Chains A and B, each alone.
Chain A
Amino acid sequence: MYLTDPDPNILAKKMELVDKLLSFLPSDAVIYDPRETLAYECDALSAYRCPPMVAVLPRTTEEVANIVKLCWELDVPVVPRGSGTSLAGGALPTGDSLVLGVARMNETLEVDYSNRLMRVQTGRTNLSVTGEVESDGFFYAPDPSSQLACAISGNIAMNSGGAHCLKYGVTSNNLLGVKMVTMQGEILDLGGAQLDASGYDLLGVICGSEGQLGIVTEATLRILRKPEGALPVLIGYNDSEVAGQCVSDIIKAGVLPVAIEFMDRPCIRATDAFSQAGYPDCEALLIIEVEGSELEIEEQLAKIIVIANKHNPVELRRAKNTDEANRIWLGRKSAFGAMGQINDYMCLDGTIPVSKLPFVLKRISEMSKEFGLDVGNVFHAGDGNMHPLILYDANKPGDLEVCEAFGAEILKLCVEVGGCLTGEHGVGIEKRDLMHIQYSADDLEAQMSIKDVFDPKWLLNPTKVFPLDASVKRREGASQETAA
């Protein structure tokens, strides 16, 4: 992947920028020593690294506004950062950028059960939001795998999902409002406690805009009353097509589980060896979870089991209590770790129409032979959000490139069968040059024109999301202005 070169004109302004930042920020909030900026050189797409010119850690929205205003005046690109857990390189800096981290903005501002909402600063981690209201029987629904570490700011930027979004939706469906700072330093409130917008749904556009339209400093989140309980059933099949059919039949029967997870044989073997979850050695494993009171769980599981049995499973294991439930989830939850034990891996997240599952799995396994790299599949089957994990050796010259080429072929396939490049991780730098596959020049132009409105100089996270060749004029337009 090509990483853009730093602009020497901007690098020349480093000390001017630092001095001005220090005039209104405490010294521990401005990081510019090259040994210290190294801490911000990458996110969870760690194959790519580049330390920023400066990193800042503001505590208030006003500080954020002053920082971006200054960067706007000096034409310094700004890379917003939550916890740096992006798998797509969403928080990867360029050498001439300022990283604006919201990690110190982690206050809870309001908890309002009557209106089922809470307001937080966006540096809060996803799990800590639920932690705040859990003892009162509430929770925040989106639950990305990285929820222990990932920040709400990043969840909003990437419109994060999770295992339970089949029932509860993704971030966008659970975000009621934001306070954000535009690149020109204006502070803007969008949405709020009311349930719809009076004009354009700008909140809906901000969510998932990958930190390119503004810096979200506060979020109003929907919180929900926790269901009385939840239990999963584990079902093994010797044919992935049959497993796919089972998923489709369950949905058609009117049962709406909170989660339907799918693992293929390579993944089952790896996770079982790693976690001793006691999974059956079969072609496809489903974990289906339902919620409610004991009686309701019973009713739904009974319906699921009837359907599952029609397809002759090799194993059907139903959790009767929390311990058994945890055992069933153990392997799935350690799947990424287990694959990482075998080798380095790249995790994709293309989404496909559920009906195309067997075909896509077959093609991935054929491609795996062509490219000579192993791949395991673990994914959210209810909504077709795949997670192929391609194994490669980072220390073997050329392996990363082969892996990326293989990944690109899988994503092309996802789009060909009617799906998309990314279901929940975002585009970042990782998939920006593949955007042409899914979108026409006009489609991309329409999206980029939104960025023109919010960030006319293209200073916010400018090298992400859009293919570099599509965004070059806009990005260079900004720096030419600087030169002039």
Chain B
Amino acid sequence: MSIANLAPSSESEIAELVTSETERVHIAGGQSRLLATEKKIISTSALNGIVEYEPGALTMVAKAGTPLSLIKETLQKERQQLAFEPPEFKHILMLPGNSTIGGVFATNASGSRRIQVGAARDHLLGVRFVDGLGRIIKNGGRVMKNVTGYDLVKLLAGSWGTLGLITEVSFKVLPISETQLTLKLNLCDARILTTAINTPYDISGTFYDIGLKSAYIRVEGFDESVKYRVQQLLAEFSDFEIDILNMEQSKKFWKNVNNLDFLKNITGDLWRISVKPTDGIKIIEILDPKVGFLDWCGGLVWIRIDEGCDVRGKIQKLAGHAMCLLGDFDQFHPSSVIEKKLSASIRNKFDPKMLFNQEILN
């Protein structure tokens, strides 16, 4: 398949392209989360660079095609970070591309710290985008509090390039904590995650390995504070055998979690299921997958399961949704009838010609 790759470098160029376009196009960031679904690609690769960074205001503005790695390096120099820990899909999906900041927000990619600081969408402060009519639209801004008009920022976050081509994002950043430790509780019940998050000790990550029956609980902050909270948690969970992962080990562990390393080298379909946290373990019981892991206190379930297993059919009595990342099913979970109707109308307002990423969320 021949691929026509367009890489416009300005909003007006994109607007011109879109206005005259009649063929379906795929909007691509780094293609590290999703392969192109169309022959024609508009890439954000020429929209590259950090526009503004104010460490004292905890805000950054960057063009959509800026590599995530550059964003992270720049923040690191000021001991700051994207607190929502965007996960990487490229390793597990074996995609060659590299994540861009626009792609992170367009897919609302949120990692383990979701339970403490919120999702990518909660950190996105402003967007600029070109819609399917070639209109250059901005929404939100670069300040932390902004309720001026409708929040299209949230709408664009997680819209997977179906409403427009995001050209620039502004977002909130947070300090990197001085230190972190992770408690590993051996041979425990998954419900331990709930007990942990409901202590006053400001837990920043909870993970459970179904096979090993081990829970991982992360604590971050200033040195003395982390020591104190770990002591409190050790007392709270004194019935269990507990290992403590030091800062290096802890960082490595959570990096593996957010790279989905624990799901690699296992065959079978790959599913990501988002449910009420206490339903996470029920999902595992119903599906009995080859491997299963719980993040987000149980609210995010990752499994590898026999090929062709109708995951959605089996868990439909539980509220939530399932995304198929590897397997012969639609990637996106179907919406309710009324949500579908509203979403289709919104899409029609922004992209009436259905130019963008037609196969996605459709």
Report if A and B associate in a common complex: yes
List residues of A whose CB falls within 8 A of some B CB.
113-116, 137, 158-159, 161, 165-166, 169-170, 172-173, 186, 188-190, 192-205, 207-209, 225-228, 247-249, 251-256, 292-293, 295-296, 299-300, 303, 351-355, 380, 382-385, 418-427, 431, 435, 438-440, 442-447, 449-454, 465
Give 29 pairs: A residue, B residue, CB < 8 Å, sorted on A.
A113-B198, A116-B197, A158-B147, A194-B320, A195-B115, A198-B323, A198-B332, A198-B333, A199-B339, A199-B343, A200-B158, A201-B159, A205-B150, A205-B155, A209-B151, A247-B56, A248-B56, A253-B175, A256-B175, A293-B229, A295-B225, A300-B222, A300-B225, A303-B222, A353-B57, A383-B144, A384-B145, A440-B138, A453-B349
* Chain B: minimal CB distance from A103 (Å): 23
Q: Counting CB contacts under 8 A, is B76 at the interface? A: no
Distance in angstroms between the alpha carbons of A267 and B58 in the assembled complex = 27
Pair B178/A254 contact, Cβ less than 8 Å: yes
Q: Counting CB contacts under 8 A, is B114 at the interface? A: yes
Distance in angstroms between the alpha carbons of A421 and B100 in the assembled complex = 30
Q: Counting CB contacts under 8 A, is B228 at the interface? A: yes
Pair A424/B145 contact, Cβ less than 8 Å: yes
Residue of A whose beta carbon sits closest to that of B277:
A115
Given A354-B57, A447-B150, A256-B144 contact (CB < 8 Å): no
Indicate which residue in B144, B300, B321, B323 contacts A384 across the interface (CB closer than 8 Å): B144
* Chain A: minimal CB distance from B237 (Å): 16
Pair B339/A190 contact, Cβ less than 8 Å: yes
Residue of B whose beta carbon sits closest to that of A351:
B143
Distance in angstroms between the alpha carbons of A195 and B147 in the assembled complex = 22
Pair A442/B136 contact, Cβ less than 8 Å: yes
Q: Counting CB contacts under 8 A, is B121 at the interface? A: yes
Question: Which of A198, A208, A439, A449 is packed against the most chain B CB atoms within 10 Å?
Answer: A198
Pair B200/A196 contact, Cβ less than 8 Å: no
Distance in angstroms between the alpha carbons of A166 and B172 in the assembled complex = 11
Pair A439/B149 contact, Cβ less than 8 Å: yes
Q: Counting CB contacts under 8 A, is B268 at the interface? A: no
Q: Counting CB contacts under 8 A, is B148 at the interface? A: yes
Distance in angstroms between the alpha carbons of A172 and B350 in the assembled complex = 23
Pair B147/A439 contact, Cβ less than 8 Å: no
Q: Which B residues from 132 to 178 make CB contacts under 8 A with A?
A: 135-139, 141-155, 157-159, 163, 174-178
Distance in angstroms between the alpha carbons of A255 and B80 in the assembled complex = 11
Distance in angstroms between the alpha carbons of A425 and B148 in the assembled complex = 9
Pair A427/B151 contact, Cβ less than 8 Å: no
Given A193-B276, A296-B224, A450-B150, A385-B56 contact (CB < 8 Å): no
Given A173-B118, A199-B361, A355-B57, A293-B228 contact (CB < 8 Å): yes
Q: How large is the interface on B (under 10, 10 to 19, 20 to 34, 35 or more residues)?
A: 35 or more
Distance in angstroms between the alpha carbons of A29 and B148 in the assembled complex = 33
Indicate which residue in B276, B300, B349 contacts A115 across the interface (CB closer than 8 Å): B276
Pair B278/A115 contact, Cβ less than 8 Å: yes
Q: Counting CB contacts under 8 A, is B338 at the interface? A: yes
List residues of chain B with CB within 8 A of the CB of A443.
137-139, 149
* Chain B: minimal CB distance from A448 (Å): 9
Pair A450/B147 contact, Cβ less than 8 Å: no
Distance in angstroms between the alpha carbons of A476 and B168 in the assembled complex = 35
Given A194-B319, A354-B57, A186-B338 contact (CB < 8 Å): yes
* Chain B: minimal CB distance from A319 (Å): 19
Question: Which of B79, B147, B175, B225 is packed against the most chain A CB atoms within 10 Å?
Answer: B147
* Chain B: minimal CB distance from A269 (Å): 27
Query: What 1/0 flags go to B221-240 for Cβ under 8 Å of A?
Result: 11111001100000000000
List residues of chain B with CB within 8 A of the CB of A384.
57, 143-145
List residues of chain A with CB within 8 A of the CB of B333.
198-199
Distance in angstroms between the alpha carbons of A376 and B349 in the assembled complex = 44
* Chain A: minimal CB distance from B52 (Å): 9
Q: Counting CB contacts under 8 A, is B296 at the interface? A: yes
Indicate which residue in B54, B150, B299 contacts A354 across the interface (CB closer than 8 Å): B54
Distance in angstroms between the alpha carbons of A209 and B153 in the assembled complex = 13
Given A158-B147, A195-B114, A204-B154, A296-B225 contact (CB < 8 Å): yes
List residues of chain B with CB within 8 A of the CB of A453.
342, 345-346, 349
Q: Which B residues from 47 to 61 make CB contacts under 8 A with A?
A: 54-59
Interface majority SS (helix, strand, loop, mixed), chain B: mixed
List residues of chain B with CB within 8 A of the CB of A192.
276, 319-320
Residue of A whose beta carbon sits closest to that of B344:
A453
Pair A172/B154 contact, Cβ less than 8 Å: yes
Pair B146/A423 contact, Cβ less than 8 Å: yes
Given A190-B339, A453-B342, A353-B152 contact (CB < 8 Å): no
Distance in angstroms between the alpha carbons of A131 and B94 in the assembled complex = 50
Distance in angstroms between the alpha carbons of A353 and B59 in the assembled complex = 9
List residues of chain B with CB within 8 A of the CB of A201.
108, 121, 154-155, 157-159
* Chain B: minimal CB distance from A132 (Å): 16
List residues of chain A with CB within 8 A of the CB of B157.
201, 204
Question: Which of B154, B336, B338, B345 is packed against the most chain A CB atoms within 10 Å?
Answer: B154
Q: What 7 A-B pairs come out closest when comparing CB atoms?
A: A204-B154, A248-B56, A198-B321, A193-B276, A254-B175, A423-B145, A383-B144
Residue of A whose beta carbon sits closest to that of B174:
A256
* Chain A: minimal CB distance from B55 (Å): 5
Q: Counting CB contacts under 8 A, is B249 at the interface? A: no
Pair A435/B57 contact, Cβ less than 8 Å: no
Pair B147/A446 contact, Cβ less than 8 Å: no
Question: Which of A195, A208, A352, A380 is packed against the most chain B CB atoms within 10 Å?
Answer: A195
Q: Counting CB contacts under 8 A, is B131 at the interface? A: yes
Pair A205/B154 contact, Cβ less than 8 Å: yes
Pair B54/A116 contact, Cβ less than 8 Å: no
Indicate which residue in A194, A200, A225 contacts B200 across the interface (CB closer than 8 Å): A225
Indicate which residue in B115, B144, B145, B342 contacts A202 across the interface (CB closer than 8 Å): B342
Distance in angstroms between the alpha carbons of A180 and B63 in the assembled complex = 36
Distance in angstroms between the alpha carbons of A442 and B274 in the assembled complex = 35
Indicate which residue in B58, B224, B332 contacts A199 across the interface (CB closer than 8 Å): B332
Pair A248/B57 contact, Cβ less than 8 Å: yes
Pair B145/A385 contact, Cβ less than 8 Å: yes
Q: Which B residues from 231 to 282 make CB contacts under 8 A with A?
A: 274-279
Q: Counting CB contacts under 8 A, is B199 at the interface? A: yes
Given A256-B175, A450-B155, output 15 extra A-B contacts at Cβ < 8 Å.
A114-B198, A137-B200, A173-B122, A201-B158, A208-B151, A253-B175, A254-B79, A254-B178, A354-B54, A383-B144, A384-B57, A384-B144, A435-B149, A439-B148, A453-B346
Pair B197/A427 contact, Cβ less than 8 Å: no
Q: Counting CB contacts under 8 A, is B294 at the interface? A: no
Query: What 1/0 flags go to B111-134 for Cβ under 8 Å of A?
Result: 000110011011000000001000
Indicate which residue in B143, B148, B152, B274 contacts A383 across the interface (CB closer than 8 Å): B143
Pair A251/B79 contact, Cβ less than 8 Å: no
List residues of chain A with CB within 8 A of the CB of B131.
446
Pair B142/A353 contact, Cβ less than 8 Å: yes
Residue of B whose beta carbon sits closest to that of A380:
B145
List residues of chain A with CB within 8 A of the CB of B222.
296, 299-300, 303
List residues of chain A with CB within 8 A of the CB of B110.
196
Distance in angstroms between the alpha carbons of A442 and B164 in the assembled complex = 14
* Chain A: minimal CB distance from B134 (Å): 10
Distance in angstroms between the alpha carbons of A102 and B60 in the assembled complex = 40
List residues of chain B with CB within 8 A of the CB of A228.
200
* Chain B: minimal CB distance from A195 (Å): 5
Indicate which residue in B142, B296, B361 contacts A200 across the interface (CB closer than 8 Å): B361
Pair A195/B296 contact, Cβ less than 8 Å: yes
List residues of chain A with CB within 8 A of the CB of B320.
192, 194
List residues of chain B with CB within 8 A of the CB of A293.
200, 225, 228-229
